Chains A and B, each alone.
Chain A
Amino acid sequence: MSANAIDTVFAELKAKGETALIPFLTMGDPDLAASVELVRAAEAAGAHMIELGVPYSDPLADGPVIQRASERALKNRISLTDCMQVATEARKLGVKMPFILFTYFNPALQLGLEQFFSLLQEHGFSGVIIPDLPLEEDGEVRAVAERTGIHLIPLVAPTSDARVERIASQARGFVYCVSSLGVTGVRSDFHAGIDAFLATVRKASPVPICIGFGISSREQAERFARQCDGVIVGSAIVRKVEEVLPQLTEEGAESRKAGIDAVQSFIAGLKPRAAASR
Chain B
Amino acid sequence: MTIQVPDLDGRFGPFGGRYVPETLMNALFELEEAYNRYKNDADFQEELRYLLMQYAGRPSPLYYAERLTKHLGGAKIYLKREDLNHTGSHKINNALGQALLAKRMGKKKVIAETGAGQHGVATATVAALLGMECKVFMGEEDTKRQQLNVFRMKLLGSEVVPVLSGTRTLKDACNETLRYWVSHVDDTYYILGSVTGPHPYPMVVRDFQRIIGVEAREQILQSEGRLPDVIVAAVGGGSNAMGIFHQFVGDESVRLVGVEAAGRGVDTDKHAATMTKGRPGVFQGSMSYVLQDEGGQVQEAHSISAGLDYPGIGPEHAYLKDSKRAEYVPITDAEALEALQLLSRQEGIIPALESSHAVAQTMKLAPTLPKDAIIVVSLSGRGDKDVEAIMPYITGGETR
Contact = CB atoms under 8 A, between A and B. Distances in A.
Interface of A: 56-61, 63-64, 67, 71, 74, 79-80, 105-111, 131-137, 154-161, 163, 167, 178, 181-183
Nearest to B312: A58
Given A64-B165, A178-B23, A110 B295 contact: yes
21 contacts: A57-B297, A59-B175, A60-B175, A60-B182, A61-B21, A67-B165, A106-B281, A107-B296, A132-B19, A132-B20, A132-B21, A132-B282, A133-B19, A134-B19, A134-B20, A134-B25, A157-B23, A159-B24, A159-B26, A178-B21, A183-B182
Interface stretch (B53-61, B148-156, B183-191, B221-229): B183-191
Contacts, number: 116
B69 interface: no
Contacts of B299: 57
A49 B170 CA distance: 38
A74 B165 CA distance: 14
Interface string B130-174: 000000000000000000000000000000000001100001100
Given A60-B20, A134-B18, A159-B23, A110 B281 contact: yes
Nearest to A79: B295
B296 A80 contact: yes
B284 A58 contact: yes
Nearest to B298: A57
A72 to B, nearest CB: 13
Given A109-B281, A183-B182, A136 B9 contact: yes
Contacts of B175: 58-60
Given A58-B166, A60-B284, A109-B282, A155 B296 contact: no
Contacts of A157: 21-23
Contacts of B182: 60-61, 181-183
A109 B19 CA distance: 12
B290 A106 contact: yes
A132 B17 CA distance: 11
Interface in B205-222: none
B297 A107 contact: yes
A215 B41 CA distance: 45
A110 B291 CA distance: 12
A181 B23 contact: yes
A110 B292 CA distance: 10
A75 B48 CA distance: 48
A111 B297 CA distance: 12
Nearest to A63: B179
B283 interface: yes
Interface in B277-306: 281-285, 290, 292, 294-299
Nearest to B9: A136
Nearest to A132: B19
Contacts of A105: 19, 282
Given A134-B18, A134-B20, A181 B184 contact: yes
A106 B282 contact: yes
Contacts of B285: 132
B27 interface: yes
A194 to B, nearest CB: 14
Nearest to B297: A57
Given A60-B178, A134-B18, A136-B9, A110 B23 contact: no
A64 B165 CA distance: 8
A156 B22 contact: yes
B74 to A, nearest CB: 42
Interface in B236-284: 281-284
A158 B22 CA distance: 9
Contacts of B22: 131, 134, 154-157, 159-160, 163, 167, 178
Contacts of A74: 297
A163 B182 CA distance: 17
Contact of A163 (B25, B185, B294): B25
Nearest to A71: B166
Nearest to B17: A137
Given A64-B165, A111-B296, A132-B20, A58 B171 contact: yes
Nearest to B164: A64
B278 to A, nearest CB: 12
A60 B176 CA distance: 8
A118 B168 CA distance: 36
Interface string B17-41: 1111111111100000000000000
B167 to A, nearest CB: 9
A110 B282 CA distance: 9
Contacts of B9: 136
A135 B17 CA distance: 11
Nearest to B19: A132
A268 B213 CA distance: 63
A181 B290 CA distance: 28
Contact of A155 (B21, B186, B294): B21
Contacts of A178: 21-23
A64 B180 CA distance: 12
Contact of B185 (A60, A137, A159, A167): A159
A106 B296 contact: yes
Contacts of B23: 157-160, 178, 181-182
A156 B24 CA distance: 11
A60 B21 contact: yes
A56 B18 contact: no
A200 to B, nearest CB: 14
Contacts of A64: 165
Given A61-B182, A136-B9, A183-B183, A80 B21 contact: no
Nearest to B30: A159
A159 B9 CA distance: 20
Nearest to B179: A183
A276 B24 CA distance: 33
